[in-house]
Chains A and B, each alone.
Chain A
Amino acid sequence: MTAAEQRPALPDGLRDRVLAASLRARAAGRPAPAAPQIAPEEAFSRAADAFYGMLGVLAEADWGRPALRGLDVQGLVGHLTGVEEDVHRCLAGDPRVARASHVESTQAAADRQAGRPAAQTRAEWRSAADRTLDLVRAAGDADARVAVHGMRLRLGMLLVIRAFELWIHENDIRQAVGLPPSVPDPSTLSLMTQAAAQLLPHAAAVQDLREPVSVHLVLTGPGGGTWDIPMGHGGPAAASASASVGIVADAVEFCRLVANRAAPEGLDLHITGDRDRAATVLAAASTLALD
């Protein structure tokens, strides 16, 4: 520390004045530069286009490569077709998909791809994704509540989660066939990080994280942001009175963690606060994914 830094020479009130003026210029939590805002429907559309584009560069032999948990690439694409078909039923008001299993209810769609030409599988998935977009546009209300695969949520949130899933499976396939990983554009990624932050308390609840904790989550890089998230029992008041945990992570890496494609130990995380609680929160975050 230099002499200048040791000098306690700052006038009274200067710190408060400067910090307040700064936060008036840009509110806390908002990234700079901010990614252009897009609608959830647009995020899904972009993710679908990216997924479809990736499928287009696969060689015929790539479709038979193991991709994820016993499914080859073609079967994984079939799984996604099945997910779209359940979303269609959801948007049509079919109550049975509300409690349907994300995996079991899509298994038939995955299985029926066996022996098909890859082009047929690709075209079927594209048609299903386009149908999803048509139904969403027809519904016209991103705030409408829908229920599918054990979740009841706003349609807009469902579309962000669907974009998330498409990106994750796109990268599953990329990894399976030796293509470099992809990263969503900042606007799409921003919706994903917002969704992940919003869902963290639910992940904590699912994991029965009882002890109140306040999580200061900072996700860096394009699409990032800062959130203060109360978790555990007792609500925000209890969380604010409890010890806090700070987590700083790259936005893309955190999304991979949330999707269970990366372990906390493998990430360049910067953690503050109670170590055990931080580990619990991160473990809860990774359970937001199904597989």
Chain B
Amino acid sequence: MPAATLLAPRSRVTDVTGEPDSIGSCLVAEGRSSVHEVGVGDSDALLAARLAAGDPLALAEVFDRLAPVVYNGALRVLGHDAAAQDVVQDVFVELWSHPGRYDPDAGSLRAYLSMQARHRAVDLVRSEMRRVARQERNSRLEPGQPDPSAYEQVMASEAAAAVRAAVEKLPESQRRIVELAYFKGLTCREAAKAAGIPEGTAKSRLRLALAKLETVLDRQLLESS
């Protein structure tokens, strides 16, 4: 006779109200036609599904496999160990918190995490550039301070080694406008006036310079990963 409920009826009444306790476990391997090994070689789609299901073993597996890529990529751009570690943490916390943002159909998990690391690292560099520019503006309001220019500070910064190299590769006209706009804290109009060029030209050069900087920084990170 048909019936499909959970728990077969017994001669006695079975208490099914107990709560399972949580204990740890580890993953090994097995093989069968419809049964697959979990672990090394897991497809990115399966890893993503396990991450979405809240499987901490999947997180550890992804970390062990790809954290070196993320870390070394960030280190290459930032040149600073602590900052690179922060990038690794940000990237993995983001992956664990929002696993659905990774789409296995769009590319590999490795490429996705590399991209996340690159964005985080470039954001950190930009943030640092803005911070130093602000510092420079503030120091100019305090006469008598013999501090080096913000540009010099950034260029000397270990964390901005990649930026330094990238800026130095810019054509002189573009490098000049970057220095005025970002490191001396001038508005685009002020920078144009200081450089003796029309404001539209200054904007155009600045756009080109920033596009080149991003390309160079992105390439560096991709190469490192």
Instruction: Give the B-binding residues of A (Cβ under 8 A).
Output: 2, 4-5, 7-11, 14-15, 17-19, 21-23, 25-33, 67-71, 75-76, 79, 83, 98-104, 106-107, 110, 145, 147, 149-154, 157, 161-162, 164-165, 168-169, 172, 195-203, 206, 214-216, 218-221, 224-230, 236, 239-240, 244-246, 248, 258-261, 264-275, 278, 287-291
Q: Is there an interface contact between B88 and A14, defined as CB atoms closer than 8 Å?
A: yes
Partner of A32, one of B30, B36, B98: B98
Q: In the complex, what residue of chain B is closest to A265 when comparing beta carbons?
A: B34
Q: Which residues of B contact A107 (CB under 8 A)?
A: 1
Q: Is there an interface contact between B50 and A220, defined as CB atoms closer than 8 Å?
A: yes
Q: In the complex, what residue of chain B is closest to A171 when comparing beta carbons?
A: B4
Q: A98-B13, A267-B34 are in contact. Are A226 and B53 (CB under 8 A)?
A: yes
Q: Is there an interface contact between A201 and B20, defined as CB atoms closer than 8 Å?
A: yes
Q: Is there an interface contact between B38 and A270, defined as CB atoms closer than 8 Å?
A: yes
- Min C-beta distance of B49 to chain A, whole Å: 4
List 7 other contacts, CB 8 Å, given A2-B69, A99-B9, A200-B20.
Answer: A25-B96, A32-B98, A106-B3, A152-B17, A198-B18, A248-B38, A273-B30
The answer to whether the Cβ of B138 comes within 8 Å of any Cβ in the partner chain is: no
Contact with A along B35-63 (1 / 0, CB 8 A): 11111001000100111111111111001
Q: Which residues of A contact B65 (CB under 8 A)?
A: 5
Q: Which residues of B contact A220 (CB under 8 A)?
A: 46, 49-50, 52-53
The answer to whether the Cβ of B198 comes within 8 Å of any Cβ in the partner chain is: no
Q: A10-B67, A18-B63, A226-B53 are in contact. Are A172 and B2 (CB under 8 A)?
A: yes
Q: Which residues of A contact B64 (CB under 8 A)?
A: 15
Q: In the complex, what residue of chain A is closest to B66 when comparing beta carbons?
A: A5
| Bound: A17/B81 CA distance, A | 15
| Bound: A215/B33 CA distance, A | 21
Q: Is there an interface contact between A288 and B6, defined as CB atoms closer than 8 Å?
A: yes
Q: Is there an interface contact between B92 and A150, defined as CB atoms closer than 8 Å?
A: no
Q: Is there an interface contact between B225 and A290, defined as CB atoms closer than 8 Å?
A: no
| Bound: A30/B95 CA distance, A | 14
Q: Which residues of A contact B93 (CB under 8 A)?
A: 18, 21-22, 25
- Min C-beta distance of A102 to chain B, whole Å: 5
Q: Is there an interface contact between A102 and B5, defined as CB atoms closer than 8 Å?
A: yes
In B75-109, the 8 Å CB interface with A consists of: 81, 85, 88-89, 92-93, 95-100
- Min C-beta distance of B181 to chain A, whole Å: 35
The answer to whether the Cβ of B29 comes within 8 Å of any Cβ in the partner chain is: yes
| Bound: A275/B8 CA distance, A | 26
Partner of A228, one of B22, B81, B89: B22
The answer to whether the Cβ of B145 comes within 8 Å of any Cβ in the partner chain is: no
Q: Is there an interface contact between A224 and B52, defined as CB atoms closer than 8 Å?
A: yes
